[in-house]
Chains A and B, each alone.
Chain A
Amino acid sequence: MYQALLTRRYLTSKVMPLLSMAAVLLSVATVLITWSVMGGFLEVLLGSGRKLIGDVAITWPNVGFKHADDLVDSLEDHPGIARAAPVVATFGLIQLPAAQVREVFIKGIEPESFGAVTDLPASLWWRPIEEPTRRDTARLDPRLPENTAPDFMAWTLNNGLSMTRPDDRTGEPTPAAILGITVSGMNRRTEGGGYEPLAVIRPEASGDVAFEDVFMPRNGEIAITVLALDSGGRPIDSVTRSFPVANEFQSGIYDADSKTVLVPLEGLQKMLRMDEARRLVQRESFDPLDPASSAGELVTDPERVTTVLVRGAPGTDARAVQAIARDVYAEFAGAHPGEVPDALSVNIQTWEDLNATLIGAVKKETGLVLFVFGIVCFTTVFLVLSIFWSMVSEKTKDIGILRSLGASTAGIAWLWLRYGFALGVVGTACGLVSGYLIVTNINAIHEWLGTTFGLVIWDARVYYFTDIPRVVEPWRAVVVGIAGVMTCVVGAAIPALRAARMDPVKALRFE
């Protein structure tokens, strides 16, 4: 029982244990903050990776497959599937207003079904600001010039949702494209992480510079060029078509935001010759001398798509949706033998599989950062060890006194282990509380650091998230807490052993 009494007294009357406690506090808080921020970063990234894919993608690239409507219907009939959306995906070139040409990834989509499967509607960048910012107390959008019509953003959002833009002359809605936010290079990233449109600067022959008032969702237009393939995958022709820009999206994935262009499905199918077509099938029994016989029969080739995106019903995870999609596709392939790729050949991948490289890299990075911080924090063990070693030396006489009073060697060892445990518990608890408070207020703290000291640790122009992401999960706090306490106990173990093995006579004579 003397252990409890002395632990209490040593804890409250010595400076050295406070140093150990501070070391544990800092270590625990550091690891918790790192893990929470990196975990949050990964979570936001994963969410972004899912934004334009949904749960599962069934893909037969380039050539595509027929009867996608049947597949979509079959999928949507399954209770585990919420929606499915046909998509045509291909590579192509885009010509921008400043006469730049870039290679891009082009997706032909139906806005309604694609929006239901993915998070595109929420990813559309040009939309009314829902929460007024500090600079936006009058609910004026800081992204737009003052003379812009107040309902401009609502108009742009509607255009994005319908993938149309009213024709400048007739007012009739015409099919329009949605660009990744950095595809055009005409949006400047601000310190706050937002985007503001840039004016197009065009050098003139006279040496002057002309500013052209182009704002992509208002009057921007792009031309895309794709290579049409026949159903055997052989190139037919290159096709170019102009699209007005309806809106731009920000998914948070750099590749998607810088290289993806969304256009209406029907338009892209026509460009790629993947739309419904009629062709003549020659008859073998054709007799040119017989007026009653005809040269052939006109047959209709159904339209083709390269991908069907699938979103699972609420509560169904991506792997379960993948399993359902495999089953449904197998039935679908059985119903259309020879017309669609067989079930073993077609790619049926989850959004995680499709982003495996990126997700794997971030997961490894998170692991690496935690490992490095873990190593750094492991030095706390040695700090505690050295402090306890010094304290045992300082308390040598106390150990001799206790032994003279009948304390056992195990009792002395337990005294120091218990002391280490108590320090660990107090230090860890303070560390967890500090870490939690810092993590939950990290953006406010960051903002304060920026305004007070000019420190910008998280530059929103570099990252895709305007706020520092963070996720404080209880199990992480538990793991960090146990590690923090163990750090102290392990650090105290060797000094405790030393104290226990101390010769009581020598301890009593210690000066």
Chain B
Amino acid sequence: MTTDQPIISVRAVRKTYKLGRVRVPVLHGVDLDLAPRECVAILGASGSGKSTLLHLCGGLDRPDKPGANTPPPSITYRGRELTTMRGPALDRYRTRDVGFVFQFYHLLPELTVLENVTIGAMPGHGRLSWLKHKPGAIERAKALLDAFGLGHRLRHRSAELSGGERQRVAIARALVTEPPVLLADEPTGNLDRETGGTILDTIEGLRDSMGLSILLVTHDESVADRADRVVRLIDGRVVGGAGVDPPVAGGGAARREPAGVPSGKGPHP
């Protein structure tokens, strides 16, 4: 086992949704660890609660409060408890510490490719603060898009891109603030096998070059097989171990930068 402390640690997390008057339990006390520079795939069928788990890890949702006979839930990021974090702190966490990638890309159709990426760095900045950080953010966005082979499509709208290109723009947006964690929800689910493979190559490359920790949600065994570790989620329960395993070879113990991507963890744009 690695001695690295998990960058994200999930303990005893339960989540129940209300559908009208019906309470639908989705997660039943899930435990999960994600080590630095590790890629973990959460594998499960549709409705198994994998996306819910990803949203909880990303601070978009909160777990159920503990019952009389259940332990208190805990989701920590580098030791900081997310479940008790207040709104502004959670907003900062989503901006700086994690990046989301979704199955349907979720690009903003009114914006150009460059704006879609840059907007990832805008939340949390006022007018003056943004003026200061804007050049760095644009430079970073351009570098990422260049690295993803989209440097010539900066002024295009998302409707003018293919599915694979859109997903690469979404990944660039998730990484424009250089977060240490990438949360990917079925990133290849809407792509053909070949394009999906390219996207996975890109994600793997980022893990290797930037030392990213990646939590990847998928229902596809072949996608999950490319992760360092697979956590199976069946009906809201983790089947098998969910602790930190050693990163696979090439997992990026030493951080490397991809060509064209500005180096280091400088001040967040």
Residue contact B123 to A405, C-beta cutoff 8 Å:
yes
Contact in complex: A9, B123 (CB < 8 Å) = no
Scan A375-407; emit 1 where CB is below 8 A from any B CB, else 0: 000000000000000000000011011111111
Chain B 86-125 residues near chain A, CB threshold 8 A: 87-88, 91-96, 100, 102, 106, 108, 110-111, 115, 119-120, 122-125
B136 interface residue, CB < 8 Å from A? no
Q: Which of B55, B88, B111, B120 contacts A405 (CB 8 A)?
A: B120
Does residue A211 face the partner (Cβ distance < 8 Å to B)?
A: no
- Contact (Cβ within 8 A) B60 A505: yes
Q: How far apart are the CA atoms of A4 and B106 in the complex, in Å?
A: 20
Are B111 and A5 closer than 8 Å at their CB atoms?
yes
For residue B58, CB closer than 8 A to chain A, the reply is yes
Interface residues of A in 421-461 (CB under 8 A from B): none
A242 interface residue (CB < 8 Å to B): no
Given contacts A1-B130, A508-B102, A406 and B124 within 8 Å (CB-CB): yes
* Residue tally, chain A, CB below 8 Å to B: 25
Cβ B173 vs Cβ A408 within 8 A: no
CB of A404 within 8 A of CB of B100, answer: yes
- CB neighbours of A2 from chain B (8 A): 119, 122-123
Are the C-beta atoms of A6 and B108 separated by less than 8 Å? Answer: yes
Given A6-B108, A397-B106, verify A405-B126 contact (CB < 8 Å): no
Contact A1 B94 (CB under 8 A): no
Q: How far, in whole Å, are A403 and B91 apart by their CA atoms in the complex?
A: 8
Q: Is the interface of A mostly helix, strand, loop or mixed?
A: helix
B265 at the interface (CB under 8 A from A): no
Contact indicator A406/B95 (Cβ below 8 Å): yes
A404 and B61 CA atoms in complex are apart in Å by 10
B111: chain A residues within 8 A (beta carbon): 5-6, 9
Task: Verify B61–A401 contact, CB threshold 8 A.
Answer: no
Judge whether A411 is part of the interface by a CB distance below 8 angstroms: yes
The distance from the CB of A484 to the nearest CB of chain B, in whole angstroms, is 25
CB contact list, B52-82 vs A, under 8 A? 52, 55, 58, 60-61
A5 contacts B122, C-beta separation under 8 Å: yes
Check A495 for interface membership: any CB of B closer than 8 A. Answer: no
> Are A404 and B115 in contact (CB-based, < 8 A)?
no
Q: How far is the CA of A103 from the CA of B92 in the complex (A)?
A: 87
From B58, B95, B110, B111, residue with most partner A Cβ within 10 Å? B110
Asked if B127 CB lies within 8 Å of chain A CBs, one says yes
The answer to whether B87 and A5 have CB atoms under 8 Å apart is: no
CA distance A508 to B123 in the complex (A): 17
9 nearest CB pairs, A to B: A406-B95, A9-B110, A406-B123, A1-B130, A406-B94, A2-B122, A407-B123, A404-B100, A1-B122
